[in-house]
Amino acid sequence: MARPPRRRAVTPRTRPRAGHPRGRSGVPTPSPPGQGTRRRAGDPHLPALEPARRLPRRDSGTPRRGQGPGRSHGGPRGGAGLLQRSRRPGARQGQGQGRAGLARGTRHRGGAGRRRGRRLADPRGPRTDELPSRRGVRHPRAGHRRGRRGQNRRRSAPLPSRGVEVSRPAVTDPSPWQFPLPHETRLDNGLRLWRIHLPGQRLVAAELVLPAPVAMEDRRLEGVAAVALHAADEATRSHPDVIEQLELQGAALGGSTGWHHTHLSLSVPARRLPTALRLFAEVVMEPAYDDDAVAHHVEALDAAWRQRMAAPAGRAPQQLRAALFGPECREGRELTGTADTLAAIRPDDVVAWHARHWHPAGATLVVAGDLEDLDDTSLLSPFERWHPGVPTETPEPSARDRGGCVVVDHPGAAQTVIRAAQFTPGRHDPSWPALKLGGHAMAGAFSSRLNLELRERRGFTYGVSGGVAPRRHGGWFTVAAAVANESAAECISLLHQHLALPEDLTAEEVADCARFLVQVAPLSYETAGDIAHQSAVLAAAEEHPRFVNEVNARYATTSAAEASETWRRLISPERLTVVLVGPAEQLSRDLERAGIAHEVMPATP
């Protein structure tokens, strides 16, 4: 008979494996009485070690509860038992041996950790947190619960005893807020300055509004207004490195092209505003318009146009304008031009557009921020040498409610994008506050009727957006959503049903909308940039910033009956123009089944 292999004697540790020779408090941990008979040579302060002894033999058996087949503790080859894992000869990884015979009635979880049932004597000695400290204080580990990986977990704060009443603050309406009003000054060349002092706003925002309507563009060169804006900050005649100079001042430039105006913006710390304004004036008055800069931005605008046309979400807004205004009106075509018109633009065309439309006549400069150390003269001095020009008249587009449903074919679209609009009166109409509240209750808020119906109840879309918004002349009500192709026809039917307003707007709906529009204003106009931009928009619409305060005051006095009557009088499903961009074959078939008259249009460039 083969002799069984000899087992090695194991000298267990007197503390956990991850411990330090000294306790966590820096004091050596003593050995309990009767446990140690030998001390380590060279250091009398180290705890005594118990004599070497054999561990009981572990026979193979069924794995204990909580131990997978790949967790083994011991084997026929001599090992350390609890302190070492081993495999039996020839066994694959994952086929370990069980652990049996240590103590009757004892159950174990995985590893040599927590024990349930009768507690065993630990061959490594008692736990460190059970030993007294030499200083007579409690060991730092004592009383702490340990996490699954040995990390200490903090004890939660004690809960208040029963019977203790916790007072909660009352929720009240915020204090009234007013939009800051500007101080107005004019230069002899026609430039108007709106100076808005905001104490504490150390980041100053300036925005210049230029009356440069894109309707004055040559139809063969549509997009030249956008190229003139985007290439203006590449270089000036005085400073070819104007961008680097502005960055040294911590300034940032921005801008946008609209149907009737061009906006340029500047953001800079208040103490560097005078220097940044001089550079900003150079960008406005003397841009270089090099050939390379113009060609670069023509290419960038062309790429942006192609990207928009490649997706239904980018194509739908332009198709809606084409259906509302028609191809002969400038607003019925692309704002920044198409690939054909952009390719025809040359640097001379950009210079000519700048000379005709970038002048101070009719322009407004809005400066908002902490302007305590700056007067009107220092703000306007960089623009005094700006040569005056002839004011540009902004033509009024021929807006008309076409009505009906238009399907624009976009083969292979994964979903259908819906855009709908109807023209309404504008800011000057007495019914504007009631109309604005009705639009917010119908499509503007998350709890609006259309969003609750199409998203929450039906699950057709991730969300519906829209509402009543002002335009340069009048206003319009818009709705936007993206739905699955097979749900588009049903969504149009539900849209028509809700816009007919079969049930009056409730007093709670109108009050919630009024409360939101008024109380969100301080957040919407939190920074100097927000206030400067809103003031510039009002200046372009020939409105004064006091309009914000006036319309907010009228929201609170509008009743639910007035909002319902105004809605039924001005909004009609028959006058609503709906555009669907998606697979025309499937959409047309579903709309016919739903009894919705429509026409199919090819995608316009």
| Chain segment 5-44, per-residue pLDDT in tens | 555 555 455 454 444 444 444 444 454 444 444 444 545 5
pLDDT (0 to 100) of residue 328: 87
What percent of the chain lies above the pLDDT cut of 90?
Answer: 64
Give the domain extent around 518: 405-601
Range 152-171 burial, b when 16+ CB lie within 10 A, else e = eeeeeeeeeeeeeeeeeeee
Q: How far apart are CA 32 and CA 125, in angstroms?
A: 8
Please indicate, yes or no, if residue 548 is contained in any of the structural domains.
yes
Residue linked to tokens 């950790």: 113
Q: Is residue 145 part of a domain?
A: no
What average pLDDT does range 268-275 have in this prediction?
95
With beta carbons less than 8 A apart as the criterion, state whether 457 and 528 touch.
no
56 vs 196, residue with greater confidence = 196
Domains identified in the chain, total number: 2
Strands 415-424 and 252-257: unpaired
User: For residue range 205-252, what is the model confidence (pLDDT) as tens digits?
Assistant: 999 999 999 999 999 999 999 999 999 999 999 999 999 999 999 999
- For the chain, the residue count is 605
pLDDT of residue 152: 54
Same domain (yes/no): 506, 577: yes
Give the mean model confidence (pLDDT) for residues 158-171.
Answer: 72
336 and 421 in one domain? Answer: no
Reported confidence tier of residue 57, pLDDT bands at 50, 70, 90: low
Q: Residue 526's domain is classified under what CATH number?
A: 3.30.830.10
508 and 577 inside one domain: yes
Q: Which amino acid, 114? A: R
Q: Which residue shows structure tokens 């909580």?
A: 66
Three state DSSP letters for 145-159: EECCCCCEECCCCCC
What gap in Å lies between CA 455 and CA 457, rounded to an integer? 6
Sheet harboring 475-484: ordered strands across?
A: 465-470, 475-484, 415-424, 577-582, 404-409, 599-601
Regarding whether 467 and 329 lie in a shared domain, the answer is: no
Q: Give the model's confidence band at 101: pLDDT under 50 very low, under 70 low, under 90 confident, else very high.
A: very low
- Mean pLDDT, residues 289-313 taken together: 95
Residues 363 and 444 grouped into a single domain: no
pLDDT in tens, 552-561: 999 989 999 9
Q: Are residues 376 and 441 in the same domain?
A: no
**pTM over cut 0.85:** no
430 in a structural domain = yes
Task: Report which secondary-structure segment, H or E, holds 263.
Answer: strand 262-269
pLDDT, mean over the chain: 81
Q: Which residue has the tokens 């001379």?
A: 348
- Partners of 408 in the β-ladder: 581, 601
Query: Quick one: pLDDT at residue 168?
Result: 84
Name the pLDDT band for 175 (thresholds 50, 70, 90): confident
- Range with lowest mean pLDDT among 78-82, 400-404, 450-454: 78-82
Judged by DSSP in three states, 251 sits in coil
* SS3 per residue for 523-559: HHCCCHHHHHHHHHHHHHCCCCCHHHHHHHHHHCCCC
Q: Are residues 357 and 477 in the same domain?
A: no
Query: CA-CA distance, 235 to 113, in Å (whole number)?
Result: 72
pLDDT for residue 399 is more than 70: no
Q: Is the pLDDT of residue 425 over 90?
A: yes
Residue 325 lies in a domain: yes
Burial 236-262 (b: 16+ CB within 10 A, else e): beebeebbebbeebebebebebbbbbb
CB of 514 closer than 8 Å to CB of 457: no
**Same domain for 464 and 318:** no
Backbone angles phi, psi at 379, to 5 degrees: -80, -30
Q: What is the pLDDT of residue 204?
A: 97
Q: Report the C-alpha gap between 405 and 592 in whole angstroms.
A: 12
Does residue 329 fall inside a structural domain? yes
- Angle between helix 507-519 and 432-439 (nearest 10): 100
Please state which of the ranges 74-83, 348-357, 503-512, 579-588 shows the lowest mean pLDDT: 74-83
Same domain, 498 and 456: yes
Chain Cα centroid distance, residue 576: 31
* Higher local confidence (pLDDT), 105 or 208: 208
Q: Which pLDDT score, from 0 to 100, does residue 112 have? A: 45
The pairs formed by 453-461 with CB atoms below 8 angstroms and a separation of 24 or more are 453/494, 453/498, 454/481, 454/483, 454/491, 454/494, 458/487, 458/490, 458/494, 460/484, 460/487, 460/490, 460/491, 461/491
| Dist CA 33 CA 17 (whole Å) | 21
- Higher-confidence residue of 167 and 431: namely 431
Q: What are 83-87's contacts with CB under 8 Å, separation 24+?
A: 83/10, 83/12, 83/17, 83/112
pLDDT per residue as tens digits for the range 109-150: 444 444 444 444 455 555 545 444 445 444 445 444 554 554
CA distance linking residue 460 with residue 1, whole number of Å: 79
Q: 303: which 2 tokens?
A: 């790429």
Closest CA to 224 of 308, 303, 307, 336: 336
User: In the listed set 381, 396, 417, which residue is the last one of a domain according to the structure?
Assistant: 381
Instruction: Tell me whether residue 154 is in a domain.
Output: no
- Distance from C-alpha of 445 to C-alpha of 452, rounded to nearest angstrom: 10
Q: Do the bridges between strand 115-117 and strand 145-146 make them parallel or antiparallel, or are there none, so unpaired?
A: unpaired
**Percent of all residues in the chain with a pLDDT value above 70, rounded to a whole number:** 72
**Range name among 182-196, 204-218, 384-398, 498-512 with the lowest pLDDT average:** 384-398
Tell me if 572 sits within 8 A of 400, measured CB to CB.
Answer: no
Residue-level pLDDT at 327: 85
In a domain, 337, yes or no: yes
For residue 438, the 8-state DSSP code is H
Higher pLDDT, 199 or 67: 199
For residue 89, being part of any structural domain is answered with no
Half-sphere exposure of 418 (CA within 13 A, CB side): 31
Tell me phi and psi for residue 534, to 5 degrees: -65, -40
Task: Indicate the pLDDT class of residue 194, thresholds 50, 70 and 90.
Answer: very high
Q: Where are the alpha helices (DSSP H) in 222-266?
A: 224-230, 242-248
Model pLDDT, residue 402: 79
Place of tokens 């065993």: 120
Lowest mean pLDDT among 78-87, 168-177, 387-396, 573-582: 78-87
Residues with Cβ < 8 Å from 19, sequence gap 6 or more? Answer: 13, 128
CA 128 centroid distance within chain: 51
Cβ pair 583, 413 in contact under 8 A: yes
Give kind and range of the element (H or E) at residue 254: strand 252-257
| Statement: residue 383 has pLDDT above 60 | yes
E strand spans, 313-395 = 364-369
Residue 320 · residue 419 · CB < 8 Å: yes
**Do 366 and 440 belong to one domain?**
no
The verdict on 230 and 376 lying in the same domain is yes
> Is residue 390 very low, low, confident or very high in pLDDT (cuts 50, 70, 90)?
confident
Query: Which residues pair with residue 600 across a beta bridge?
Result: 407
Pick the range with the lowest mean pLDDT from 2-11, 197-206, 319-328, 458-467: 2-11
Instruction: Using CB atoms within 10 Å of the CB of residue 457, give its burial: 0 to 12 exposed, 13 to 18 middle, 19+ buried.
Output: exposed
Q: For residue 252, give both structure tokens.
A: 């940032």
Residue 123, helix vs strand vs coil: coil
Query: Do 326 and 457 fall into the same domain?
Result: no
